[in-house]
Amino acid sequence: MTSKPTEEEAKQSALSYLRAWGESPVPPTILATLITSLHARPLQPLPLSFPPVLLASTFLNLYSYTTDSAGITAAWSGLYLLLARRRKPEHMMQKFGTRGIVRGTTMGVCGINVLAGGWVYATMKKADDGESAR
């Protein structure tokens, strides 16, 4: 028979998923791709300043600076989330069209990045990062 996981095991599992998301180099890359697809046409310079920073965060993560990368990803994802929440779709079709779905996905990834990156930045030790890179 299988036993039900206790509350502590479930909480630990959720935190491990959150930590894995925050330490991964893939979410900032996906977010940079989504932001570029939304704001490249028509050209919007302010939102297009976010993808280079997110890609730099991915670069840091690949060089074993996971804590710094998580902090940068969380901060810039939060800034983009604040910027994106200002715009309100006027019609129902704008919410559920292709662009609206991509916008919603982008905002969802931003929210998860803020939570996961903030968790990793707050709980990881700085001394662990970069040791293998030196």
Would you call 134 helix, strand, or coil by DSSP? coil
CA distance 108 to 64: 26
CA atoms within 13 A on the CB side of 76: 25
pTM of the prediction?
Answer: 0.82
**How confident is the prediction along the chain (134 residues), in pLDDT tens digits per residue?**
566 777 776 667 888 999 999 999 999 999 999 999 999 989 999 999 999 999 999 999 999 999 999 999 999 999 999 999 887 766 666 678 888 889 999 999 999 999 999 999 999 877 555 555 44
